[in-house]
Amino acid sequence: MKKCKGRPYNFSNEVIGKITHSPISRLFRSDYVFITHNPTGKEFGYKGVLTSKIWSDFSNLNNTKSVFYSEINNLEMLHDGDIVLLKQNGDVVILFEKLSGDNSLLLTEQCNCSCLMCPQAITKKMDDKTNVNLQIIKLIDKSTDFLGITGGEPTLHEEGFLRVIEACRQYLPNTSLDILSNGIKFSDFEFTKRLVLLKHPDITIAIPLYGDIDNAHNYIVQANGFYKTVQGLYNLALFKQKVEIRVVVHALTYQRLPQIAAFVYHNFPFVVHIAFMALEVRESALKNLNKLWIDPCDYASELEQAVRYLNRRDMKVSIYNLPLCLLPKKLWSFSKKSISSWKRVYLQECNKCPLQGDCGGLFDSSADIYAKHINKIVL
């Protein structure tokens, strides 16, 4: 997550608030974090006040009941409508960016799988962020088009997950949700039914599948999850929920991409989208890189077979996380700008490329690994 840092004063507990650069009426200040370049110490009622100025005397701030941060660096990265977490160590963490289309709520860092290529830090400790996320949802701009729901495994804390979806339906009825889940919990028919009965108008559930046979999938997720994931897909289909299947391509999956494509077509014709995704080399993926790494140029044939197989059968299919220069030209039309803006980078060579504006770039954590074949495209 993006963040900036300053010196906190008058701090007692962590604070979540919405950024404003304009003064707010005192009746409505309690949800806002006010940015000012001319602090007076009379900014009463805000959750927090941020400034780049150095204040020499804070003795008059004790009655404001607001958290004050001075000497903030990179204050220009904060925009009206952003939602931030103010921490005691001086961090101002951006939880929601108003101008971004890539916002997600992290429900937990716990998971019931240990995927070999997971780029997310996973914890075994109790980690339920429901209350924090409920605060965020109430502050998110009502015009937001899209919001991701992610983890860890976001369904792991069942009641908290359902409360978050209900809050989204109540406060953000026009915002579509993408839930990133391993699908295991949806094998529970009653749980799936409870989600459906919340009647959120626009949910897509993205579920990974890493093999067309159980042993292949289970080894990659390090859990006996294959048949529960399959059952979860069927339960969701039974309730006519939108489902996407995701396949991360690496050394353990690439050889059977054509078979996985055929398996999806024959067994899950109801899915609305299939995404083939390149590695994000962080956390577990970095630790297991010797098992996982294969250059995208070396799996281009299998990827092309799988994508064209599904496309010929009128299934919507995309490629995520790969720049155009690492794909055969026949696959360019399937490539999407999928990397979140705060993780996406372009190499120096990319600046010479006439298709940079159409290219999804690289993960910042993985750019050096993928750099071998990065080159400008000659039209």
Are 273 and 318 in contact by the 8 Å Cβ rule? The answer is yes
Full-model pTM: 0.93
Stretch among 30-39, 178-187, 194-203, 296-305 having the lowest mean pLDDT:
30-39
Select the more confidently predicted residue: 289 or 53: 289
Place of tokens 């015009």: 143
What is the separation of C-alpha 187 from the centre of its chain, rounded to a whole number of angstroms?
23
Q: How far apart are CA 12 and CA 288, in angstroms?
A: 41
Residue 372 pLDDT:
84
Q: How far apart are CA 319 and CA 58, in angstroms?
A: 54
Provide the token pair at 307: 């994508």
Task: Examine the pLDDT at 272 and tell me if it is beyond 90.
Answer: yes
Cβ contacts of 231-236, under 8 Å, gap ≥ 24? 231/186, 231/187, 232/183, 232/184, 232/185, 232/186, 232/187, 232/192, 232/207, 233/183, 233/186, 233/207, 233/268, 233/271, 235/186, 235/187, 235/188, 235/189, 235/192, 236/186, 236/192, 236/205
Categorize the per-residue pLDDT at 126 as very low, low, confident or very high, splitting at 50, 70 and 90.
Answer: confident
* CATH placement of domain 3-96: 3.50.30.40
Q: How far apart are CA 27 and CA 37, in angstroms?
A: 22
Residue 221 pLDDT:
97
Q: How far apart are CA 63 and CA 153, in angstroms?
A: 42
| 3-state SS assignment for residue 219 | helix
Cis peptide before 41 (omega within 30 of 0): no
Select the more confidently predicted residue: 303 or 62: 303
Q: Which fold has domain 104-317?
A: TIM Barrel (3.20.20)
Query: What mean pLDDT is reported for the chain?
Result: 93
Select the more confidently predicted residue: 124 or 170: 170
Residue 22 pLDDT:
93
Q: What's the rounded mean pLDDT across residues 53-79?
A: 73
Categorize the per-residue pLDDT at 57 as very low, low, confident or very high, splitting at 50, 70 and 90.
Answer: low
Q: How far apart are CA 336 and CA 247, in angstroms?
A: 15
Domain ranges (residues) in the chain: 3-96, 104-317
Percent of the chain scoring above 90 in pLDDT: 75
CB atoms within 10 A of CB 174: 10
CB atoms within 10 A of CB 63: 10
Categorize the per-residue pLDDT at 61 as very low, low, confident or very high, splitting at 50, 70 and 90.
Answer: low
The tens digit of pLDDT for each residue in 317-351 reads 999 999 999 999 999 999 999 998 889 999 999 99
Select the more confidently predicted residue: 243 or 124: 243
Select the more confidently predicted residue: 148 or 376: 148
The tens digit of pLDDT for each residue in 215-252 reads 999 999 999 999 999 999 999 999 999 999 999 999 99
Task: Print burial letters for 226-246: b (CB count within 10 Å at least 16), e (below 16).
Answer: bebbbbbbbbbeeeebbbbbb
368: amino acid identity, one letter? D
Residue 64 pLDDT:
57
Residue 323 pLDDT:
95
Q: Which residues, 6+ apart, have CB-to-CB distance to 206 below 8 Å?
A: 178, 179, 180, 181, 243, 244, 245, 246, 275
214: amino acid identity, one letter? D
Q: How far apart are CA 69 and CA 36, in angstroms?
A: 11
Q: What string of H, E and C letters represents the secondary structure of 298-356?
A: HCHHHHHHHHHHHHHCCCCEEEECCCHHHCCHHHHHHECCCCCCCCEECCHHHHHCCCH
Residue 37 pLDDT:
83
Are 275 and 238 in contact by the 8 Å Cβ rule? The answer is no
Provide the token pair at 75: 């204050």
Distances (CA, A) of 126 to 73, 121, 130, 221, 228: 33, 14, 12, 21, 23
**Angle at Cα 353 formed by Cα 349 and Cα 359, nearest 5°?**
100
| 3-state SS assignment for residue 47 | coil
Q: How far apart are CA 360 and CA 81, in angstroms?
A: 26
Categorize the per-residue pLDDT at 274 as very low, low, confident or very high, splitting at 50, 70 and 90.
Answer: very high
Categorize the per-residue pLDDT at 51 as very low, low, confident or very high, splitting at 50, 70 and 90.
Answer: confident
Task: Examine the pLDDT at 59 and tell me if it is beyond 60.
Answer: no
